[in-house]
Structure 1
Amino acid sequence: MAVIRQLDSLAPDFDAQLELLLAWESVADHRVEETVAEILREVRAHGDVAVISYTNQFDRRQLQAAGDFMVSASELQAARERVAPEARRALEAAAERVRAYHDHQKQESWQYREADGTVLGQQITPMERVGIYVPGGKASYPSSVLMNAIPAKVAGVEEVVMVVPAPDNQISDLVLAAAAIAGVDRVFTIGGAQAVAALAYGTEAVPRVDKIVGPGNIFVASAKRAVFGQVAIDMIAGPSEILVICDGETDPDWIAMDLLSQAEHDEQAQSILVSPDQEFLDAVERALEKLLAELPRREIAAVSLKERGALVAVDSIESAIAISNRIAPEHLELSVANPEKYLPLIRNAGAIFLGRHTAEALGDYCAGPNHVLPTSGTARFSSPLGVYDFQKRSSIIYCSPEGAKTLGRVAGILARGEGLEAHARSAEYRVRNK
């Protein structure tokens, strides 16, 4: 049985096959939503007592008081010292690159003065407090700490609060070390919907935040969706995705491993290769079968490739790009000669990796750009997480006497056109008094 399906873009039923391939059930699940709604209500009503109860239940812990799930600054620094020197240097190098990249994203306030003295502008201010959710347990995601906390710090956020589950009281030193390196201000070892609720509503121990960012399971995603409006959120993330466009000249093993790098995430992850070279597609399929057998997470990757993966034959690179724009992938590798010339054609992608030597995995860890990216086609209208997600924009309007006279007349006419007399008079009072 084939390890991955092959599709032909010129086949009469290609559109239907592609739609079937891309179909994914979202986080909407009535049973999950009911459970999450109950957790949110309890945490909102009972604070830390409810957080402790749910954490003990779901994460098999024996918390007695809020102090049991708080991590001190000294404990973070101790974890930083405990990790292997090589790992610490890698975290610090990645953090430096992530910080340098996001420094370029900072927006500044601006103003301009009109001829009559009226001043218009925009004031940029950082959010005061944000919460970052980091998955925990057996899996360790220090890269998620860096990618979520550092842009907030670059933006000037006063306090970054991190929640991370510690099932069976187990938590990764790498995650805690990353928190220390990224400058996280407070860490709580709680997870799930109860952690999202604590961040959204505030408890005796956990401060209420302005925005919650970071990935999580279906309960976390559902909770983030439910508290949106009470707080801001980054996005509702779907399974990880990669789409590779290749002209057939890159090593098939390289491309196969790039596809596997996403497939090993989970069974719902999606890996797609699009190429005008049928022989190359066949070579990649053989490489997938060979390399899959070597992976520790081969069972997960095999399901992902079989259920949601595809090798797609097209008649040109331009046709491949058209399909990519339709899919709007989270990660897009453009593994072709002279990739820069095709860049203007790319309209929808979370992150674009140019050239044969640019593996998507570099973006996951240390290239510099953020790895929190839009999924499930939302790259059509969404962007990667960045400094701008932690900054607010306020409009500035400062009328001179002459400006108030000019604008007051215009506003009065428009307000009466909308039947709002008080608006009209408010604008015109200043005209009459001059």
Structure 2
Amino acid sequence: MTDVVVTGVGVVAPTGLDTETFWRSALAGESGVRRISRFDSRRYPVRYAGEVANFDPSAVLDPRIVVQTDLWTQFALDGTRQALESAALDPRALDSFDVGVTTSASSGGNAFGQREIEALWAHGPRHVGPYQSIAWFYAASTGQISIGNTMRGPCAVVSSESSGGLDALAHARRAVRQGCRVQICGGTEAPVSPYALTCQLRSGLLSERDSPTAYRPFAHDACGYVPGEGGAVLVLEDAAHAQARGVRPLAVVAGHAATFTGSQSTTDGEYWTRAAEALAVAIRLALTDAHVGAAEIDAVFADGMGVPSADRAEIRALRQVLGPSFDRVPVTAVSAGLGRAYSAAGTFASAAATLALRDGLVPPTPGLTGHDVAVDADVVTGAPRRGRLRNVLVLARGFGGFSSALVLGSIR
């Protein structure tokens, strides 16, 4: 079966506007969680988020595209530009039908949509712009990336909440295995707006702590998560195609699996028991897909929801599948420094895992010390952990019962 490899990574994050800045920040344990600045959040119970600061879309995108798109798509377009540069890939040099796009989507272009609805309410239908019909749409990013780069291969959108980033990578891998030479894939998010935040509050899982340390996965005082924005885009490529181009891959997309438990109340004591079982099945199936044994996993990039019952369920699932070998496996949750970025959460973690494989370093969980850890796991805190990484496991869970597991392997 065709090996599918990662040859490029592009990141726009609360901790940096490019991949290497994001990675240096991750290794330093830095956090981009800060008080919300996009609007007055004093009337909301959640006042902190992982905002992307100093991002100027007009500096990196065609002004004609800027007016047509919401911030989440602008993040995706800039991430694509970075990823293609990282992969030394000019899509115009390839048959356009050999390059496709797969992204994940969760809240879509919510801020753009809110602005246009406000115009409709205040001034009437003639004041609603023509791009309202496409900018909010969950397929907007895939469409804009495809059109802007003349990518006419298989294109798709995956919508499975916070699991979507990993599911998008798996969908892209499948497209490459079926004959598409290159897939641009990933996920971005921009859920820091009044309407978007109001929608998120329904879950009951967000942290209302009025502090930059509001999001502390695996900690004794964990009390939920905060929203995050930005995202990551990866270039997935047929291994033979990458070799023919003379490009050394960063990682192999070795295995994936996803499960679904259905939507139940997260306050139900049985919910997280079922969620742990579903996540364990996803992990087991991903290892099988990757032909990797439990003892061959060298690091875990965890979902890290920051909800105590959810964190315990995640560790329980890992211990159930990995067994005694889990005691020696470092676990990290990079989302603590980024906010929970929904459809981008898995791609942030996958980008970090890819760079970890490249450099042999597992970044710490931002904001945590060893004394803070409340779960039975070797959670990396303080400084990055150096070691030989053969395979890393990336996990993601979505509100509503989604679970996803991805195995990335080193280039041997």
TM-score normalised by structure 2 residue count: 0.26
Q: Name the structure where helix makes up a greater proportion of residues.
A: 1
Larger Rg: 1
